[in-house]
Structure 1
Amino acid sequence: MSGLYERHRAVSPDWLALYYRHPVELTHGEGRYVWDADGNRYLDFFGGILTTMTAHALPEVTKAVAEQAGRIIHSSTLYLNRPMVELAERIAALSGIPDARVFFTTSGTEANDTALLLATAYRGSNQILAMRNSYHGRSFSTVSITGNQAWSPTSLSPLQTLYVHGGVRSRGPYAELSDERFIEACVADLEDLLGHTRVPAALIAEPVQGVGGFASPPDGLFAAFRQVLDRHGVLWISDEVQTGWGRTGDHFWGWQAHAEHGPPDILTFAKGIGNGMSVGGVVARAEVMNCLDANSISTFGGSPVTMAASLANLSYLLEHDLQGNARRVGGLLIERLRSVAAASPAVREVRGRGLMIGIELVRPGTDEAAPEAAAAVLEAARAGGLLIGKGGGHHTSVLRIAPPLTLTVAEAEEGAAILADALHAAA
């Protein structure tokens, strides 16, 4: 492995992050497990950053990929593409957006970049509202709306971004308020902000912040925001790259926890829909999607192979009620992890919903972030046979847990036990 690591370092950018002091090469997977080049088996609680959503080597998906690859692999959007149209029809119907149009990309970054293009063109404004502690991708436009210093490497930007409060419930100036008062304070902050600037094109927000450590506002915040946004003519973009497809258990889309005033104007998705294939996309009502007055295509967005994989994956997810499994098994896992955390003075909070769970670590006896503890737990969990992620603002002190949605109760118990040992060992 050291040889491959040295080769990696010789040809890859210094900023291309790798987990672990001794990085691991994953060679194959099955179900909720993966194996490395040394033959070690791991229970996968991160799914390639929430991307292997259903299971590793899911037969239905691998079969669809092989069959489509045997017919035609690529054509571009210049030709009619049956799998792309079929998937677009299904996503449009599931999105909740009336008269929806769907455009496919190859990643969540590209999806959010396209959403920004649509919103700014539609509204004739280059101002964007974004949430503090947010993450929306790695392109020039998306890093400029990312409210997370560790993932925004430049202050240069094609957009003017203003950051709104409310994405993190348990920290910041409103943390001690009740949910109702918290929402009122955040809405007042938004109203005040809009009173001191030109009208922005859109607010972009993750219903549950992914890289930000699986933090979220009280249910209903974005519904309350929507009333203000509509009054000012500001679009709402819901970044569902990590929260979509039933991962939160309670809802199919994250925005549905804030659904009092209807769906967002624009919805972006990626990651889990392809179960590891490179798929992203944008859903918007026709009036917004069709506002561009220039030609455009996508060379790789809507690839026949990735569309076939996504169709098979979406069918499996719906037919096997994986949203319900995320709710049931995720609820058990959260309670188990809260029980584990009660014995650790380093755990500040266990939060999340469904199979999207964060464990925030602090220096014992303080409220200070503990990135060194998160790194230590990550290493100890791997040593115990469990892969997890980390995030949480520029301090990176939150353990991120997001297994495939087919996770069983027995596997949830296995993972929780390994995490308990890892927390103890790191302490």
Structure 2
Amino acid sequence: MSGHTHARDEELLKRHRKVMPPWMPLYYDQPLEIVSGSGSTVTGSDGVSYLEFYSGIATNLVGYGIPEIQEAVQSQLRTGVVHTSTFYLIRKQVELAERIAGLSGIDDPVVFFTCSGTEAVETALLLTTQYRASNQVIALRYSYHGRSFGALAVTGDRNWQGRGLSPLRVAHARGGERRHGGMADLNDTDYVHACTEDLRELLATSTPEATAAMVVEPVQGIAGAVPLVPGQLASYQAVLREHDIPLIVDEVQTGWGRTGRYWGYQWHDVTPDVLVFAKGVGNGLTMGGLVGRREIMSSLSHPSISSFGGNPLSLTSALATLDYIDSHDLPARSAHAGRILVEGLQRCLADEPWVCQVRGTGLLAAIEYTRPGALEPAVDMATSVQETCRDMELLVGVGGTSGNCVRLLPPLTVSDDQVRQAIRVITDATRTART
């Protein structure tokens, strides 16, 4: 069992609260400092070793302390060159851009690097609004795309939007969640048809003739690992092409094999016009960017740079991470481990009255908790399960539009035994959690 917060953590928490903003939350009644890690486990300042099933919000993609990645980063540090700037040629930037361009599936692709997913989304919005000479964007309900002004504008979850002030005109189409809005009884085919007709009506009545782009997540992560319905994204893109509207696919959480395929969009019969990436590609170092069709990526009429985007240190980590993904076939590993995780939880939690649904695509999974016999979100239950899991030395996230989902995003290198251990802990935590 965890020893919870020691005196040094209490002192650090006081310092944190004095200098950090109140809108930046911390997990747990007694917050945790992580001081070391190896593989899929981390050690807290309390001296407890935890199985880590959140991966720094999907960022530590292949785990902690990976020797091949550590050595590559240390080798770059030994050169003394951590940063130059995009005003100079950077060999590793070109090498990584070439690899991502080849992996993207986009014709005649161009790549630009940033420091985060938020900045990458913002850049995609900048480019498509310039390209289409329009500030109208279509996004999905229940979506999340980052914390900046433009990224929050297209976010379809009001819990993250604040006052909703926006530099863009935004309309929100339906995402993968069908239980609300009178569509719960529709099968996949009928739901996709209804969503597509709704998009057509949106374009015909509620948006200007020129719309800059539509931005989507193949699996809506913050919403609680909600996948788009089979056929939904392809049907949307068919409508977009009738109007020459670019499709931006946000792969910040779904990219690099997490869903069981290299890209989340590969579960759908589409090819994005712009693909946004970040998080796992740096395996913990700051790395984001976008890859898109040349004509869109070339649409700026003025010079622009990213001072720290594509810096040599992050590039080195990203190249080593891609090598590790490829040499260990981690998309296949994610698909295999994800099946064990989701099917195991579905089986073990099938009779739990507080569990509404267990869902997942690869190792992007969630358990949704609702009041027994209703769809009323059980936020206290999800939070209690998270706390109880920590007591049992497992770290998980909490999310969902109402905060009633336990989110599971382990490193793609997690072992089968570790997955089964997590299933046992989550099952026990659900049965014993405070409500």
TM-score bracket for the superposition, by shorter chain length: over 0.9
Cα distance between partner residues in 2 of 1:92 and 1:171: 38
Per-residue CA distance 1:281-337 (angstroms, 9 max, x = gap)? 010111110010100111100000000000000110011001111111110111111
* Matched residue, 1:233: 244
Question: 1:216 maps to what in 2?
Answer: 227
**2:258 matches 1:258:** no
Shift of 1:70: 1.3
Instruction: Please state how far the C-alpha of 1:149 moved relative to its aligned partner.
Output: 1.2
Question: Which residue, out of 303, 325, 329, partners 1:317?
Answer: 325
Match of 1:144, SS? helix
1:169 Cα deviation from its structure 2 partner: 4.0
Please name the residue that 1:397 is paired with: 404
**What CA distance in whole angstroms lies between the structure 2 residues aligned with 1:354 and 1:385?**
23
1:220 Cα deviation after fit: 1.8
Partners of 1:122 and 1:168 in 2: how far apart?
Answer: 31
Q: Deviations over 1:196-255 (max 9, x none)?
A: 121311110000011111112212211100110010121100000000111111x21111
CA contact (8 A) 1:169 1:215 kept: no
The one-letter amino acid paired with 2:160 is: W
AA matched with 1:408: S
Cα deviation code 1:358-395 (max 9, x no counterpart)? 111001121111111111001000110101111111x1
Structure 2 Cα separation of the partners of residues 150 and 209 of structure 1 = 15
Alpha-carbon offset, residue 418 of structure 1: 0.6
Structure 2 counterpart of 1:8: 16
Query: What is the CA deviation profile of residues 140-189 of structure 1, one whole-angstrom value per residue up to 9, with x for unaligned ones?
Result: 11111111111112321110110001332444422221101110000010
- Segments ≥4 residues shifted beyond 2 Å: 169-173
Match of 2:202 among 193, 197, 209: 193
Instruction: Tell me what 1:122 maps to.
Output: 131
Instruction: Work out the CA distance in 2 between the residues paired with 1:47 and 1:172.
Output: 34
How many residue pairs were aligned? 423
Contact conserved, 1:169 with 1:216, CA < 8 A, in 2? no
8 Å CA contact 2:338, 2:360 repeated in 1: no
Match of 1:308 in 2: 316
Q: Does 1:43 align with 2:51?
A: yes
Superposition RMSD in Å: 0.9
The amino acid of 1:410's aligned partner reads D
Look up the match of 1:242: 253
Decide which of 334, 342, 357 is 1:326's aligned counterpart: 334
Which residue of 1 is the match for residue 67 of structure 2?
Answer: 59
Identity of aligned residues (%): 46
**2:315 partner amino acid:** M
Q: Deviations over 1:104-136 (max 9, x none)?
A: 000000000000001100000000000000000
Partner of 2:3: none
Given the two structures, how large is their TM-score scaled by the length of structure 1?
A: 0.98
Structure 1 stretches lacking a partner, 5+ long: none
Output the amino acid matched with 1:418: V
Amino acid at match of 2:187: S
TM-score (norm 2): 0.96
Q: Which residue of 1 aligns with 2:348?
A: 340
| 2:171 aligned with 1:162 | yes
SS in 2 for 1:88: helix
> For 1:42, what is the secondary structure of its paired residue?
strand
Deviation at residue 349 of structure 1 after TM alignment: 0.4
State the SS of the aligned residue for 1:195. Answer: helix
Pick aligned residue for 2:420 from 413, 422, 425: 413
Aligned mates of 1:220, 1:245 — CA distance in 2: 22
Segment of structure 1 superposing worse, 192-201 or 274-283: 192-201
Cα distance in structure 2, aligned partners of 1:172 and 1:94 = 37
Match of 2:396 among 369, 388, 403: 388
Unaligned runs of 5+ in 2: 1-8
State the one-letter code of the partner of 1:75: T
